[in-house]
Chain A
Amino acid sequence: MSSSVAPADLPVPGRSDRDDTSYELAQEGATKTKRVKQRLTSRGATIAALIIAVVWTLPTFGLFVSSFRPEDEIRNNGWWTIFQNPGFTLANYQDVLLSSSASSPQLGSYFVNSLAIAIPGTLFPLVLASLAAYAFAWIKFKGSNALFILVFALQIVPLQMALIPLLQMFSLGLRFGETQILPGLPAGNYAQVWIAHTIFALPLAIFLLHNFISEIPGEVIEAARVDGAGHGQVFFRIIIPLALPAIASFGIFQFLWVWNDLLVALVFSGGTPDVAPLTQRLAELTGSRGQEWQRLTAAAFVSLVIPLIVFFSLQRYFVRGLLAGSTKG
């Protein structure tokens, strides 16, 4: 019995033991990461990383150089001969962006289409998935685990398998036997593309955000509930700010995926120039016989600008240690 009694001014046995072990574990982890860090910062590793970086960037660099070369030069020699065959022109960019002749790509309006698809196509799944992730992680309800596994398992279904049924549902509406549950959507409409992208993104988004949100200390959420916050306030004032790194990283991935997507756009945009994104235009850019392929380099760079902006502007949200100081240890 005396073992359960501890004076206040002595460290309490049970608790301090636990802290010691966790401290040791942390120590062990720290030395491990230190070792890994040391290995990664050795000279050999640096050289290897440099080589990989150069090899990966070289084609993009070549593309970049080519995009400023005159048509004849592009057709006759490679970009690496730029010093032997100098030449600089903005004609390619002018051609893909500004030219109003019927045969030119006129990328400007497709650029706007791409933004109109990619921004909602990123925001919708992010909003829905973070709400769902909060519910799965912090609201107890019957069958929540089974439902979560089901959602996660949906990732197994290949996107291609869902294209035709989804397209059918969009054009005919959702039917159950003879009863119409949801009306169809008009063809050549952004809504079809948005919904398709949202549906395809949700399983992974919910899974990733759930993993992050469930790591937020439960006591913080309980503290907020005791402080008078309902689910809505807990979600907007606690969960969202703390899950920002996960939301930002998923946001980047989803935006890049939607921006670079051709398949979904091709199926659901209905082929109208009003809806078709940049990628769809890029694919037919070189002309019906592929004779205009000098345009490709400039067009590729036009389509690269937005992903670069998105990446660099969102990367500041990749903050580590956002949860530091909330609870002990």
Chain B
Amino acid sequence: MASVTFDKATRLYPGSTKPAVDSIDLQVADGEFLVLVGPSGCGKSTSLRMLAGLEEVNDGNIFIGDRNVTDVPPKDRDIAMVFQNYALYPHMTVAENMGFALKIAGVNKDERAERVLEAAKLLDLEPYLSRKPKALSGGQRQRVAMGRAIVRQPQVFLMDEPLSNLDAKLRVQTRTQIASLQRRLGVTTVYVTHDQTEALTMGDRIAVLKDGVLQQVGSPRDLYEKPQNVFVAGFIGSPAMNLFSSDMADGGVKFGSSVVNLDRKFLQAAHGSKITVGVRPEDVIVSTTPGDGLEIEVDLVEELGADGYLYGHATTQGGERTDIVARVDGRLHPHAGEKVYLLPQPGHLHAFDAETGVRLNDAAAIG
């Protein structure tokens, strides 16, 4: 068991001028489940592969525990990795697949069999131990890949989108299994995904990356409640946060004809006369009284049973159209073509600098 530290780790692919991973500073505590999340091409997989030793580190250092592993080959790092496409050894049985690392490490046959059996029990793989991977279903293959990592009892688990090849139902199931398994084993885990729901449900902490740059690290609650910038605000949460630019008013920000209060010191910190405001769909008050906030024309209401999602658009003074999503009651809700008025719930307004995209309100509280 060990902590993991990225110290200004950078990866620059040959022939490109922009680093795929740009001096990332990140600490993962011993036993912690950290999720790296971001859109495709953001460098999350590259970061994980750098930690695994499969990708060169061009600048900076990576530590596992107190050991600098920057130039240590993967085989000596004492890590186990679960690959996106499972990467099972096709010519070996499930038991041989799981025991391969132990065999290489020179563990004797009896202990090997014992540890493989133990892991197989944990993952309900006992009946399949003598099968070859091609005789397994996708979910079973995924569990074998997990088992191969567990048997090792490594310092760190690395998982590269292990659920992306499973069907929707199995993905939700396995998600919970992996998270509880990790908590039971207490092994430090770095988990890569592009799916923010996976990130929110599994991680102790989440690190959001974009274009190789670390945007924010924090607990799922932190990221949801206090996104540090516009990118994180739009990425975390589903449906995504409504983000639009709005004029500053005296002591607040305009929502149609209303003004929502915002502390003066935040307004002073902003560049220019506009700020970007964000409201989550679940944090809006929808009113049918004219003048109660931003005017929205309803385009469509999606009914999901208990809740409904209202899709509409606001037209700003400049004639610009802004799409808006709001959660409404599933039974009593406005209908398409109607006009409604929208205000954020008190304390749930996110304000960002229109130029830099950096969060303005309560920024100090996050640290």
Could you tell me which residues of chain B, from 137 to 160, have a CB within 8 Å of some CB in chain A? 138, 141, 148, 152, 158
Interface pair B90/A228, CB less than 8 Å apart: no
A241–B100 CA distance with the chains assembled, in angstroms: 14
Interface pair B168/A11, CB less than 8 Å apart: yes
Chain B residues with CB under 8 A of A167: none
Interface pair A4/B75, CB less than 8 Å apart: no
Interface-lining segment among B79-87, B267-275, B326-334, B340-348: B79-87
Size band of the B side of the interface?
35 or more
Interface pair B87/A217, CB less than 8 Å apart: yes
B101 adjacent to chain A (CB < 8 Å): yes
Interface-lining segment among B190-198, B254-262, B288-296: B190-198
Closest residue of chain A to B231 (Cβ to Cβ) is A1
Interface pair B238/A230, CB less than 8 Å apart: no
Interface pair A226/B89, CB less than 8 Å apart: no
A-B contact count (CB 8 A): 142
A325-B83 contact given A220-B90, A241-B91, CB 8 Å threshold: no
Chain A residues with CB under 8 A of B163: 8
Interface-lining segment among A201-209, A297-305, A316-324: A316-324
Q: How far is the CB of B307 from chain A (nearest CB, A)?
A: 14
B234 adjacent to chain A (CB < 8 Å): yes
A4–B195 CA distance with the chains assembled, in angstroms: 9
Interface pair B198/A242, CB less than 8 Å apart: no
Closest residue of chain A to B78 (Cβ to Cβ) is A228
Closest residue of chain B to A225 (Cβ to Cβ) is B74
A217–B133 CA distance with the chains assembled, in angstroms: 15
Interface pair A9/B104, CB less than 8 Å apart: no
B117 adjacent to chain A (CB < 8 Å): no
Closest residue of chain B to A6 (Cβ to Cβ) is B195
A226–B155 CA distance with the chains assembled, in angstroms: 12
Q: How far is the CB of B206 from chain A (nearest CB, A)?
A: 14
A9–B170 CA distance with the chains assembled, in angstroms: 9
Interface pair A9/B238, CB less than 8 Å apart: no
Supplied contacts A2-B240, A8-B175, 6 more A-B pairs, CB within 8 Å = A222-B54, A223-B83, A325-B135, A326-B88, A326-B90, A326-B133
Chain A interface residues toward B at CB < 8 A: 1-2, 4-12, 14-15, 217, 219-220, 222-230, 233, 237-238, 241-242, 321-329
9 shortest A-B CB distances, which residue pairs? Answer: A325-B134, A1-B234, A325-B133, A219-B87, A327-B85, A2-B240, A8-B197, A326-B90, A227-B101
